[in-house]
A = this chain, B = another copy of it.
Amino acid sequence: MIDKKLNSVRVGVVGCGYWGPKLIRNFQSIPGSDLQLVSDLREDRLEHIRGLYPGVKTTTDYAELLDSSVEAVALATPVSTHFQMAREALLHNKHVMVEKPLTRSSAEAEELIRLAEERQRILMVGHTFEYNPAVEYLKDLIAKGGIGRVYYISATRVNLGIFQKDINVIWDLAPHDISILLYILGMKPTQVSARGAAYVQPNVEDVAYVNLHFPNGVMADIRVSWLDPCKIRRITVVGSQKMVVYDDVEPNEKIKIYDKGVDSPPYSDTMEEFRLSYRYGDITTPAISGAEPLEIECRHFLDCIRHGRAPRSDGHDGLSVVKVLEEAQLSLRDSGMSRTINW
């Protein structure tokens, strides 16, 4: 036990709402992690955590955590607090993992990146889906040409609740899809537009549609809603040779690869000769590891700390997603006007 702790990273988790307890569970159980302190403003949440993990120390004072010997801080607090809390952690020379989205603005994200580089600390954003084995599979499949040229992607991420009070549904749900798209395509969008409406809370959009244009004519469309009777997490990737559906709600068949497509003949002399040939081939559902993405993410954070490596979802990745969100937000306020993103 002593040896184990000697080599372990001393971790503190901040925020015990919906997501924090999942981080706590992981940092409590994965090897190489020494969960030393948990912080939240609400004493009742801390008491709940102490009930689950009798040995864990807690505090309602974030400053206490900053002044402790904790080396790495994982932040699962409201988005509006991300920048300030991550900044303080970096200023106290802590490594930081921040829940998505990284910040409320690209300027804030850039400031955190600068600070992390200056202090030579790890800055990581919790883009959990980049650690999801199904998303990994999809990225590899596309990269090796397994679906031909990517045409377009349609994503749907809807359910009833959980409403946020400080951000709208785009900032809450779309970061997942945007980080997935950037990751599997290996490209950044050049144009973005967004439309939406606020029904339950004034001025907080609860349903929205985001449209993205990537290089090479790739288009993507994202539907997000807190106001849908069904939980849907579905991404369809259509390529020139195959089509893939990634359904994250499916317990076992998360990825389905359809050997389907349409071929246009090389030429046709007249309109009368117009013909398209359709391929309706096999469907393959690859076996995908059932490992918990968040556990992979937490282990990756500790590995990056130990070996001084840049995380897969580093500050720059977090900044990219925030820039897209920022422009989507401007488009939303401007009736869906297209906006060019300057990278």
Contact = CB atoms under 8 A, between A and B. Distances in A.
A229 B163 CA distance: 32
Interface stretch (A115-123, A196-204, A291-299): A196-204
Contact of A229 (B207, B227, B229, B258): B258
- Identical chains bound together, number: 4
A260 interface: yes
A103 to B, nearest CB: 20
Given A28-B52, A51-B29, A207-B219, A283 B253 contact: yes
Interface string A313-324: 000000000000
A71 to B, nearest CB: 19
Q: Interface extent on A, as a size class?
A: 35 or more
Interface stretch (A89-97, A126-134, A270-278, A303-311): A270-278
A197 B219 contact: yes
Contacts of A251: 231
Contacts of A195: 193, 211, 219, 221
A144 interface: no
A230 B258 CA distance: 9
A17 interface: no
Across chains A and B, which 5 residue pairs bring their CB atoms closest together, nearest first?
A: A54-B55, A229-B258, A283-B285, A229-B243, A151-B199
Given A160-B262, A207-B238, A209-B211, 4 more contacts: A53-B55, A152-B227, A229-B244, A229-B258
15 contacts: A53-B53, A151-B207, A160-B278, A161-B278, A165-B271, A165-B274, A197-B217, A199-B217, A228-B238, A230-B245, A231-B252, A281-B287, A282-B286, A335-B338, A336-B338
